[in-house]
Amino acid sequence: MSDACGCGHDEPRPENEEEHEPEKLWQVTEIRAAAVAGVLLIAGLIVGWTGGPHPIELALYVLALVVAGYTFVLSTLKRLARGKIGVGTLMTIAAVGAVLLGEVEEAAMLAFLFAISEGLEEYSVTRTRRGLRALLSLVPATATVARGGREEVVEPGELRLGEIMIVKPGERIATDGIIRSGRTALDVSAITGESVPAEAGPGDEVFAGSINGTGALDVEVTASAQDNSLAKIVRIVEAEQSRKGEAQRLADKIAKPLVPAILVAAAAIAAVGSLLGDPRVWIERALVVLVAASPCALAIAVPVTVFAAVGAASKLGVLVKGGAALEALGRIRGIALDKTGTLTRNRPTVIDIATANGTSRAEVLAVAAALEVRSEHPLAKAILAAAGDDITPAENVEAVTSAGLTGRLGSVTVRLGRPGWIEPGSLAADVERMQHAGATAVLIERDGIVIGAVAVRDELRPEAAEVVAGLRRDGYHLVMLTGDNERTARALAADVGIDEIHADLRPEDKARIIEQLGRQRSMAMVGDGVNDAPALATADLGIAMGAMGTDVAIETADVALMGEDLRHLPQALRHARRSRRIMLQNIGLSLAIITVLMPLALFGALGLAAVVLVHEVAEIVVIANGVRAGHAEALTPAAQPVEKAADTAVAPM
C-alpha cells in the first residue's frame, strides 16, 4: 500500500502483531470503535428528533466523534510529524473544519464512516494474509522420532537433520524428508493442488503437510520446521507480495500526487469562494471537496486484490510472487514450453536397442551402463535401469560437452554419444527409425567400432495434449523448446499439438529464442527451473513446473507450479486473468467515484455526510470486489489424470 496515500493504518505493523490479528470482524479495533460511535450517533439523533436538551445531543455527537476519530487522528498526526500526508490527513482536516463550522454531527458521521472503512480494509487484508499462513497449520503439532533405540513424541521444531521420523498411517508429515523404508500413497493435495494420491517408497522425497496413506514410513529429516517447504512458500510469498505490478504502480502514481493536490485545490476553493461569496458556504464546500476527492478506495484497490489472489493461488499449489507476477501472468499471450519435465514425465525409459557387428543387446547395454554409471544425465537413469545391477564401471570416463562420454573398459576405449559425434554406419536406418518414433538415440562404440544404438524416450504427460489444445483455444501462441534432436522433437510436438518447435538447444539458446519471441508478444517460459534458468529469467514471466522442494525453481521463477499436473498451468492463467480484471475494475471504479463526486461537491449538490457515505460505500464495494480474487476453482479428483507406473524395462522388440 502506498505510504503516501495509504488508507489503512498509518503506523507499520509490529512484527509480533501477527499473533493478535483479528479472526472475526467484531475483533477489529476500528469496527468496535465504529460500533460504539454508531450507538452514540443514533442516541444523539434520537435526542434531537424528540426535542431533547441540545447540550446532551451535542455531547453525544462529540463523544461519537472522539471514539471514531481516535482510530485515525492520532496516527495521522504522527505521520504529519514525519512530514507524510495521506488520506487520513484529508479526513482529519475535514472533521476539524466541520467542528469549527459548528457541524459536529457531520464531523461525527465522517469519523464513524471512515472508521468502518478502515476496519473493513484491515479485516480484508489480514484475512487474506492469514489464509496464506494457514498453510503452516498443515504441519502437525507433534512428530514421532526414533532416538536412543526408542520412539519419542516431540514438537516439529525439535526435529534435527538426519533423524528418522516414524510416520504412521493417516498422520501428517511434520517436515520435509526422504523415505528410508516403507511404501504408501501420499495425499499432497493441500500443497500441490493435486488430489490423486502419489505413490511413494524408499528414496522418494516427502514434504511437510502431506498426509500418509496406509503404510507406515521411516523418514529421514532433511529440513528443519523453520525451513521446510511450507514455511518457505509462505515466507517467499509474503516477502514478494510487496513487489508492485503495473496496476498498483498506476494507482500509486495517481494517488501519491493527488493528496497534496486536493489540499491545494480545497484551499483555493475556500479562499476564492470567500472573496466572491459567503465564506462559510465556500469553506464548507472546500471541506466537502476535500473528502470527495479522497483516493482512499484507489489506495486499497490493488493491494487487497493481490493479497486475495496470491493467497488463493497458493492453496491451489501455485506460488505467485506478488502483484507484478500476478499481472504478468494475466497479461501474457505467448507460452514457450520446455519438453523434458514439462510436456513429458521426466522419466526416460529404454524402448529399443539395435545391435551391429554380432554384438548382443546385453553387451550393448553393459557398455552403455559402464559409461553412464556415474553420469547425472537424464538418459543415464533409463540405461542403468535397463542394464540391471551387475554393472562394471568404465575407467577414465570423460564427458564431451554436447556430444557424449568416453572412457575405457579394461584395455579397450569405449564411447557413447549422439549421432554425428559417433557415425551410425550400418545403424543409420535404425537411428532414423528411433528418432521418428520420438525417441532419443545414442550410439555405443567399442574399440572404434559401432556396436549398437539405444533408444530412450520420455513419454508425454497424459494431460499434455488436453492442456495444449485448451491453451490454443484461449488464444495463446505456443512454442516448444528442447535440447533434443529435430526429429524427436517434431514427433513429440505432433503428438501434443504444437506447431512451432526449436530443437538442439543449449540453455543459452533457449534464452536467446525467448528474447526474440518476446519482441512480438508478452512471453512466458515454462521449465524446470534448473537447466532452464536463463530462459526463465529472460522471459516476461518465468514459470517453474513441478517445483515442490526445488530451491532453484522457486527462487528463479516468478510463478512456480508446485505439483506435476500440467493442467495447473491453464488454471493459474485463468485465475490471473480474472484477478487482473478485478484490479482494473477497482481502479476504474475508484477514479469514477472521484470524478463524479468532485463537481457535485463543488457546486453544493452534496453535503459532507452524503459525500462521506458515497465514498465509504464505494470503498466497501472495492474491498468486496477485491476479495473475489480469493476464490479459485481447484482441480477435481475426477479430472485428475491416472498416473501409470513408469516401465523401466526394455520394451519388447
Burial (Cβ within 10 Å: 0-12, 13-18, ≥19) of residue 311: buried
Contacts of 115 (CB under 8 A, 6+ apart): 30, 31, 33, 34, 37, 68, 69, 71, 72
Tell me if 369 sits within 8 A of 384, measured CB to CB.
yes
Contacts of 81 (CB under 8 A, 6+ apart): none
Nearest to 247 by CA among 132, 320, 307, 326: 326
Tell me if 449 sits within 8 A of 357, measured CB to CB.
yes
Burial (Cβ within 10 Å: 0-12, 13-18, ≥19) of residue 294: buried
CA-CA-CA-CA torsion sign (510, 516, 517, 518): positive
CB neighbourhood size of 134 (10 A): 14
- Which contiguous run of DSSP H or E holds residue 88? helix 87-100
172 DSSP 8-state letter: B
Three-state secondary structure call for residue 30 = helix
Catalytic residues: 338
| Phi, psi (degrees; rounded to nearest 5) at 542 | -100, 130
Tell me if 152 sits within 8 A of 145, measured CB to CB.
yes
- Bridge pairing between strands 164-167 and 143-147: antiparallel
Residues across the chain: 653
Nearest-angstrom CA–CA distance, 54 and 633: 57
Nearest-angstrom CA–CA distance, 83 and 96: 19
Radius of gyration of the chain (CA): 32
Instruction: Give the angle subtended at the CA of 262 by the CAs of 261 and 264, to the nearest 5°.
Output: 65
Nearest-angstrom CA–CA distance, 649 and 352: 10
Question: Where do we find the cell 512458500?
Answer: 233
In the chain, DSSP finds a helix count (H) and a strand count (E) of 21, 21
Tell me if 168 sits within 8 A of 212, measured CB to CB.
yes
| Phi, psi (degrees; rounded to nearest 5) at 163 | -70, 160
Type of residue numbered 325? A
Nearest to 348 by CA among 650, 552, 550: 650
Nearest to 609 by CA among 385, 302, 333, 284: 284
| All three cell numbers of 561 | 507450479
Q: What is the DSSP secondary-structure string of 220-238?
A: EE-S-TTSSHHHHHHHHHH
Tally the C-alpha atoms within 13 A of residue 121's C-alpha that lie toward its C-beta: 27
Nearest to 103 by CA among 111, 333, 242, 401: 111
Contacts of 249 (CB under 8 A, 6+ apart): none
Nearest-angstrom CA–CA distance, 344 and 644: 13
Nearest-angstrom CA–CA distance, 222 and 204: 12
